[in-house]
Amino acid sequence: MKVAIQGFAGSYHEIAANQYFGSEIELVMCDSFINLFKKLDTKQADCAVMAIENTIAGTILFNYSLLRNSVYKITGETFLRIEHCLMGLDNQSINDITEVHSHPMALNQCTRFFAGYPNIKLVEAVDTGLMAEQIANEKIKGRAAIAGVGAASKFGLHIFKKNIEDSERNFTRFLVLENYPDSKSTIENFKFNKATISFGLTHEVGGLSKILNILATEKINVMSLQSTPYVGNAWEYLFHLDIEFSDYLAYQKAIETIKKQTLHFSIMGEYKKGI
């Protein structure tokens, strides 16, 4: 199986893909989330693993828009404990480091640590693992990368400091994406307990509250609620909800009711809750 990821060898996306699918997969590495979807479009990958939110840095809202505008569905999810390490060439100390290059999400998750090192310049880059590999291959002194401990081992780098993230409760949620038709599930083959739905609303008082009340009535739990601009329609927004449930008939009933009260309704995926 060919699995597209945003990132390169040693990245957290690589770890998440192996965590979900196992190690017997071929990774298709992409330098951006846009290119991840392009790899799917051109059949260079069978599916993809894509980060969507982090417990410190928040949600990658742009990825909701990419998914909404594609033919792909969420078919699974996995959660990864993120443990950031500061790494670079050996025979240096952290006081020798003048620049740290890493993915902006990683930098955003380590603000408290770097507040204690105001002389270190933080530079945004396309990937965590790629920056570690670059330091190792080009023998760059005075520069460090933020990546997982596996990247240090893979590229032979020295770890100056482990667990530099702002909170030990640092998790990233990754979505599994496939070109999967709309669900044909029935109560007999019902196997999922989570879904992501998307919709727009007219500008009326209490519009969103009505949707939430429908879900509450059917005892469906809203795990996350995000909004993104509806491109081309000024000051209009699309809402994206992750919902969790155990009763298939209640879920179906809620969906049919919500469809009638919203605009541009879409089920972005139905899947089993990750762990």
Burial of 99-116, coded b for 16+ CB within 10 Å and e otherwise, reads: ebbbbebbbbbbeebbee
Tokens of 116: 């204690």
Residue 250 buriedness (CB in 10 A; 0-12 / 13-18 / 19+): middle
Determine the angle formed by the axes of helices 61-68 and 33-41, rounding to 10 degrees. 20
Q: What DSSP string describes 239-262?
A: EEEEEE-S-HHHHHHHHHHHHHHS
Half-sphere exposure of 45 (CA within 13 A, CB side): 25
CA gap 36, 55 in Å, rounded: 23
Q: Which residues are catalytic?
A: 172, 174
